[in-house]
Amino acid sequence: NAGVTQTPKFQVLKTGQSMTLQCAQDMNHNSMYWYRQDPGMGLRLIYYSASEGTTDKGEVPNGYNVSRLNKREFSLRLESAAPSQTSVYFCASSEGVGQGSDEQFFGPGTRLTVL
Q: Which residues bind another protein (CB under 8 A)?
A: 4, 33, 35, 40-45, 48, 50, 56, 58-59, 90, 92, 98-101, 103-109
Q: Pick the closer one to another protein by CB: 19 or 45.
A: 45
Residues 6 or more apart in contact with residue 106 via CB below 8 angstroms: 4, 90, 91, 92
Alpha helices in the chain (DSSP H): none
Nearer to another protein, 78 or 109 (CB): 109
Closest CB to another protein among residues 73, 95: 95
CB of 16 to another protein, least distance (A): 28
d(CA 77, CA 49): 14
CB of 94 to another protein, least distance (A): 9
Is 46:34 a contact under the CB 8 Å cutoff?
Answer: yes
Considering the complex, what minimum distance in angstroms separates the CB of residue 15 from another protein?
25
Contact of 1 with 27, CB cutoff 8 Å: yes
What contacts 51, CB < 8 A, 6 or more positions away? 30, 31, 97, 98
Please say which residue, 59 or 79, places its beta carbon nearer to another protein: 59
Closest CB 37 distance from another protein, rounded Å: 9
